Amino acid sequence: MIESFGVRLAARVAVAGPLVAGIDPHPGLLADWGLSIDVNGLERFAMTCVDAFAAEVALVKPQAAFFEAFGSRGVAVLERTIAAAQAAGSLVLVDAKRGDIGTTMAAYATAFLADGSPLAGDAVTLSPYLGFGSLDPALELSAKTGRGVFVLALTSNKEGPSVQRARADSGVSVAQSIVDAAAERNHGADPLGHVGVVIGATVGETGLDLSRLNGAVLAPGLGAQGGTVADLRRLFGGISGQVLPSSSRDVLRHGPDVAALRAAAVATRESVRELGESTGAAGHSVS
């Protein structure tokens, strides 16, 4: 029987705390690290991050777009990054934000969630804005293969609120409808279901009821974007044990020295570790 993503996630968080460390090889960061802005620099950046982070954090999160920008050779580096991080003990969340319909969505699901695919980590981010039901191929395949998905719900970009905070005639916001749909998929799972949601650490008051989610919340924006541990406690109070804070730039600025990167990741991990102490605990409404 395949071990579910929720079980594997809870086990990893118990060992390494809840931190998600981003691997974002932005050209500006490659330059800051003194690396060439090409595939060789990309690979050196990514493997340095794996060396520094994989044994220390719950998940590493490579941003697929920065690899894809270098074409097929960049995608090959992403494949090697996923494999190296998993071999080092970390779970891998591929930040690809895929979303489409029908056979196209099924193809994305195969690429990022199927057994044997070199792009399949342990989870992938998805966009539900063609309708939550359009994600069914990915939701079904991830359940079958023991992987997870994180669905965008309430993001911190300034363009997000016009869509995500919009309300239906029933008064329910779009973001709440996404949380509710994820909760339906997670019903009865123990300790957590395989469908998580993405809620930015800097979104302010969410107005969301997360009490029935029974899944993980990826909370990007810790550190350089302004999110703090106090924000996480305020936003996610009763479900803090289900929250996975994500930090990228604030840790990556300490590169390219592996020891300095690792030390930054460990310091950030310890600052948020208490959030993961009750993973799977019952949640409450948050505001």
What are the catalytic residues? Answer: 97
The C-alpha angle 214, 81, 193, rounded to 5 degrees, equals 10
* Both tokens assigned to 154: 């309430």
Phi-psi region of 79 (alpha: psi -120 to 50; beta: other; left: phi over 0): alpha
Spatial distance between the Cα atoms of 216 and 204, rounded to a whole number of angstroms: 19
Spatial distance between the Cα atoms of 219 and 110, rounded to a whole number of angstroms: 26
The C-alpha angle 226, 216, 111, rounded to 5 degrees, equals 100
Instruction: Work out the number of other CB atoms within 10 angstroms of the CB of residue 127.
Output: 16
Question: CA 255, 94, 202, 55: dihedral to nearest 10 degrees?
Answer: -50
Burial (0-12, 13-18, 19+ Cβ within 10 Å), 244: buried
Q: Which residues contact 160 (CB under 8 A, 6 or more apart)?
A: 154
The β-bridge partners of 258 are none
Spatial distance between the Cα atoms of 104 and 254, rounded to a whole number of angstroms: 39
Spatial distance between the Cα atoms of 120 and 20, rounded to a whole number of angstroms: 17
Spatial distance between the Cα atoms of 97 and 47, rounded to a whole number of angstroms: 22
